[in-house]
Structure 1
């Protein structure tokens, strides 16, 4: 009965953390299915090579990693999943030694004399070879919208603003939005889902209120990190044309107007362009609020990058 009440992976993990016997028995029960999946994936090929399947890190390996991190900060305290890890020393190490992107994470040693880790574990390459080693560059477009060659970018500073998921969606996604335009309105808002890549909130629409089974299906999509801006919430199955997200959007698109003006759901305000939930009113926003009934939230960084503050419904001034 315990497992029956766990309607999502998150609830199941919480039960397992409280009941070790349940965790062990459930792990044993799914092992057959996991072995089938491993064998299936081993038969896949990518660019002529077989796909490699790795087992997740064991609890002992995670504890060993925590001990290794104490080289950088001997005062850290966290659990084996690193979920409670907080350390300014480790943050500084990652800032100077790594590059994190949506599609990749790279880490590289340094040659600084004051780096505790790299002094104990210096680069094994010859100095001249190591100095010529750089982070793999991000996909970068030229003025014509074409991606530049790797050779032209290697060794230069790049960002991931030109990654494919940041570009606009067209074609089939636009036609699908037109097909369901009667549902993609403020009176049909049923919730929101977070994009796995950009973290922005994207509105969920349905012609009627979701029942508990449908709500659990949406929760599973969110917990399993399956949704990305511009993709259908359910690519197939019984909910494909029932529970919808707008598809003619990308990670660069601002928050939908329906998020702020939904009639069936009222959400916390988030910044219009970047989606950050930490909303603060700047002087420019306060000035516009005197002239307009609706002024969308924005942050200083978006203002500095040249983005405009969306406004609607100009107030009538008395003569």
Structure 2
């Protein structure tokens, strides 16, 4: 891939034409029905923001596939919004991730109901420290409540809720 020199494009008008998130990617062409908690096979942490993102597959990964994807993540730097694997990887038509999630967005809702989750995290920043206790009145009114940490609440971010009772 070739990029223009900085001096050549500085102060030039730009467009969104080549922005990766603007392009229709293979994982966006699949049925949205795959993005449910029953199809979460792995969790991957972004190397920049630290937030966990869910990796989906309609099929359970066998030992060879799990080993391959584990080794793959050991050798790359993952960032929110990027495809899981390249189009030529043998798992390219098996693994999917929400490509529209960026580092400035909260953790996806499915994380909180997935069986792989081993710790609650702040919905907004992904921290496991200083999570606030869920008020009992919220538990009475909402089926799903996603916690903020103390720092995010100080910054004005509140409880995220879904599905009123």
Q: TM-score w.r.t. structure 2 length?
A: 0.76
Aligned with residue 272 of structure 1, among 112, 117, 123 = 123
CA separation of 1:270 and 1:250: change in aligned 2, threshold 3 A: same
Number of residues paired by the alignment? 149
Q: Which runs of 4+ in 1 moved over 3 A?
A: 173-176
Match of 2:145 in 1: 295
- Cα separation, 2, equivalents of 1:225 and 1:277: 24
Query: Deviations along 1:159-180, whole A, 9 cap, x unmatched?
Result: xxxxxxxxxx742257742534
Aligned with residue 82 of structure 2, among 207, 231, 236 = 231
Give the secondary-structure state (helix, strand or coil) at the position aligned to 1:254. Answer: coil
Instruction: For 1:99-178, list aligned pairs within 5 A.
Output: 170-172=21-23, 176-178=27-29
Does the Cα contact within 8 Å between 1:255 and 1:272 map onto a contact in 2? yes
Are residues 1:240 and 2:92 paired? yes
Match of 1:25 in 2: none
Give the secondary-structure state (helix, strand or coil) at the position aligned to 1:294. Answer: strand
CA separation of 1:204 and 1:46: change in aligned 2, threshold 3 A: same
Give the secondary-structure state (helix, strand or coil) at the position aligned to 1:190. Answer: strand
Does the Cα contact within 8 Å between 2:47 and 2:78 map onto a contact in 1? yes
Structure 1: which 5+ runs fail to align? Answer: 1-44, 48-147, 149-168
The alignment's C-alpha RMSD in Å is 2.8
Query: Deviations along 1:260-289, whole A, 9 cap, x unmatched?
Result: 123xx341221111111235224xx32523
- What's the offset of the Cα at 1:304? 1.8
- Cα separation, 1, equivalents of 2:29 and 2:155: 32
Are residues 1:258 and 2:105 paired? no
Query: Deviations along 1:129-177, whole A, 9 cap, x unmatched?
Result: xxxxxxxxxxxxxxxxxxx9xxxxxxxxxxxxxxxxxxxx742257742
- Cα separation, 1, equivalents of 2:108 and 2:28: 14
Task: Point out the structure with the larger helix share.
Answer: 1
Match of 2:15 in 1: none
Match of 2:17 in 1: none
Match of 1:208 in 2: 59
Q: Which has the larger radius of gyration?
A: 1
Higher relative contact order, structure no. (Cα contacts within 8 Å, ≥ 6 residues apart): 2
